[in-house]
């Protein structure tokens, strides 16, 4: 399959706040998707105020990147009067595209802001070329394909749709047990609507069986006394076979994670940036280096899977538990360098101490080990550790690191 004919795909990163947004740009995203207001599918993150959205668009455009605004929830009647106002504010802020799941929202966006592109969200469940082509005819410049598709099916959509229609494909992040995320379980059990961005993730919980004539007697759904997390999906990771996803016809490679930390956004975006660039240098000979595959394991994640790309997943569910694997913590962000003292100027994220070994996460480069021979507070006074949240401090270093570089430490047993 060679659905792209060698064209370099866009790398699309998530942002739930300005810190994550800056991290996405610093670590190489070509475009960033974000939300604001009630029409977004992520209610948990802080999201963006109208002023922050303006600032984000200006920052992205100054770096040659794009901003996509999510309005991909399914609005109710009472929300329609605010729809055009929301779309107009985002248009005026300078967004490059709207992401919509609802046909009415798509058509409203075309009326309110005909100069702004519209992408159809994965929530629309696009699984075939007929639907993709009809949405294109209605004005969509891109469809975000359902995550349940195989590489062969993606290729079939690419071969049977106009080349002017872009195909966006998820390559990394959380998966959902429900088809394209359309799930009522959270709303039913907790009153938090997953289709409004407020999912409580009950699919990650531990379930047991109870027989109605034997109340209080719980039986494990599984092979041992620990029960079973029968609905808990693994996380998607395609960095090892990125060439195959691109070859199937992906125009844009999407990282899930608007509710994730700035460190997650930085590390995963940085890894995929370098992977895409490696592919572009030799499309026919792509081999993901082991250290890049290791990079995506240094963020908080569930066990990884290849999803549906190669057919039904081989144990795509994590039955043993519903938690994350978290082996590294970000401890600081670099804000500058004092060449006179030879010290990095940093901002604390987690406590660490003199004598620790850190790793520098550097945009566009392989991580670098850094020893901590000494520490100084913001005024230059010596100290043994960084005990205060968000404190400024100085770290002796042999040379500068880029602003926005992150320092992390492996978790101790």
Question: Beta-strand (E) ranges in 112-269?
Answer: 117-120, 142-144, 166-174, 208-210, 218-220, 235-237, 252-255
Rg (CA), the chain: 23
Scanning 239-387, the segments in alpha helix (DSSP H) are: 242-248, 262-281, 290-295
Q: What is the dihedral of CA 297, 302, 303, 309, to 10 degrees?
A: -100
Percent helix, strand, coil in the chain, to 5, is 30, 25, 45
CB 273 within 8 A of CB 27: yes
Supply the angle between the helices 50-62 and 18-26 in degrees, to the nearest 10: 10
Q: What is the dihedral of CA 122, 126, 129, 135, to 10 degrees?
A: -80
What letter does residue 7 receive in the DSSP assignment?
Answer: P
Please state the φ and ψ torsions of residue 337, each to the nearest 5 degrees: -150, 135
Which residues, including other chains, have CB under 8 Å from residue 126's CB and lie 6 or more apart? 120, 132, 135, 143, 144, 145, 146, 157
CB 135 within 8 A of CB 126: yes
The domains of the chain, with CATH numbers, are 10-178+233-305 (3.20.20.70), 328-410 (2.40.30.10)
CB 337 within 8 A of CB 344: yes
d(C-alpha 195, C-alpha 186), whole Å: 9
Which residues, including other chains, have CB under 8 Å from residue 213's CB and lie 6 or more apart? none
Q: From its phi and psi, is residue 79 left (phi > 0), alpha (psi between -120 and 50) or beta?
A: alpha
Sheet holding 392-396, edge to edge: 368-371, 357-361, 406-410, 328-338, 343-348, 392-396, 375-377, 382-383
For 118-164, what is each residue's pLDDT tens digit? 999 999 999 999 999 999 999 999 999 999 899 999 999 999 999 99
Please state the φ and ψ torsions of residue 84, each to the nearest 5 degrees: -65, -35
Structure tokens at 326: 């978290």
Q: Tell me the HSE value of 187 on the side-chain side, using a 13 A CA sphere.
A: 9
Q: Digits of tens for pLDDT over the chain (413 positions)?
A: 665 556 899 999 999 999 999 999 999 999 999 998 767 655 555 679 999 999 999 999 999 999 999 998 888 899 898 899 999 999 999 999 999 999 999 999 999 999 999 999 999 999 999 999 999 999 999 999 999 899 999 999 999 999 999 999 999 998 876 666 666 666 657 777 766 667 777 766 777 777 777 787 776 655 455 555 666 778 899 999 999 999 999 999 999 999 899 999 999 999 999 999 999 999 999 999 999 999 999 999 988 989 889 987 556 665 556 577 899 999 999 999 999 999 999 999 999 999 999 999 999 999 999 999 999 999 999 999 999 999 999 999 989 999 999 999 999 77
Which residues, including other chains, have CB under 8 Å from residue 10's CB and lie 6 or more apart? 30, 31, 251, 252, 253
């Amino acid at each position: 399959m060679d659905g792209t004919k060698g064209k370099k795909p866009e790398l699309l990163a998530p942002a739930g706040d300005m810190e994550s947004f800056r991290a996405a740009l610093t670590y190489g995203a070509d475009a960033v998707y974000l939300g604001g207001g009630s029409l977004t599918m992520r209610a948990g993150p802080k999201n963006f105020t109208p002023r922050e959205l303006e600032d984000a668009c200006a920052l992205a455009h100054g770096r040659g990147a794009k901003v996509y605004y999510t309005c991909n929830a399914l609005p109710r009647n009472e929300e329609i009067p605010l729809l055009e106002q929301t779309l107009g504010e985002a248009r005026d802020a300078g967004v490059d595209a709207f992401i919509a799941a609802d046909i009415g929202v798509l058509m409203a966006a075309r009326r309110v802001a005909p100069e702004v592109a519209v992408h159809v969200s994965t929530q629309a469940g696009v699984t075939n070329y007929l639907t993709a082509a009809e949405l294109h005819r209605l004005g969509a410049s891109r469809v975000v394909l359902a995550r349940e598709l195989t590489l062969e099916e993606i290729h079939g959509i690419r071969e049977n749709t106009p080349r002017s229609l872009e195909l966006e494909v998820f390559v990394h992040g959380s998966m959902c047990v429900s088809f394209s995320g359309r799930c009522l379980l959270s709303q039913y059990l907790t009153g938090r609507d997953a289709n409004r961005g407020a999912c409580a993730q009950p699919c990650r919980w531990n379930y047991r069986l109870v027989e109605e004539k034997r109340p209080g007697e719980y039986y494990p759904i599984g092979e041992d006394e620990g029960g079973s997390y029968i609905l808990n999906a693994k996380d998607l990771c395609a960095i090892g076979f990125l060439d195959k996803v691109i070859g199937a016809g992906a125009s844009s490679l999407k990282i899930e994670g608007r509710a994730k930390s700035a460190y997650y956004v930085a590390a995963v975006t940085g890894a995929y940036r370098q992977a895409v660039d490696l592919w572009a240098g030799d499309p026919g000979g792509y081999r993901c280096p082991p250290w890049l595959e290791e990079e995506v394991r240094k963020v908080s994640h569930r066990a990884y899977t290849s999803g549906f790309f190669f057919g039904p997943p081989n144990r795509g569910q994590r039955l043993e538990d519903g938690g994350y694997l978290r082996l590294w913590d970000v401890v600081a962000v670099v804000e500058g360098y004092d060449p006179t003292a030879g010290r990095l100027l940093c901002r604390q994220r987690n406590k660490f101490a003199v004598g620790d070994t850190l790793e520098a996460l550097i945009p566009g480069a392989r991580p670098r080990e850094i020893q901590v021979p000494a520490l100084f507070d913001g005024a230059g006074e010596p100290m043994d550790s960084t005990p205060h949240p968000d404190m400024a401090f100085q770290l002796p270093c042999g040379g500068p690191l880029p602003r926005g570089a992150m320092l992390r430490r492996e978790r101790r047993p």
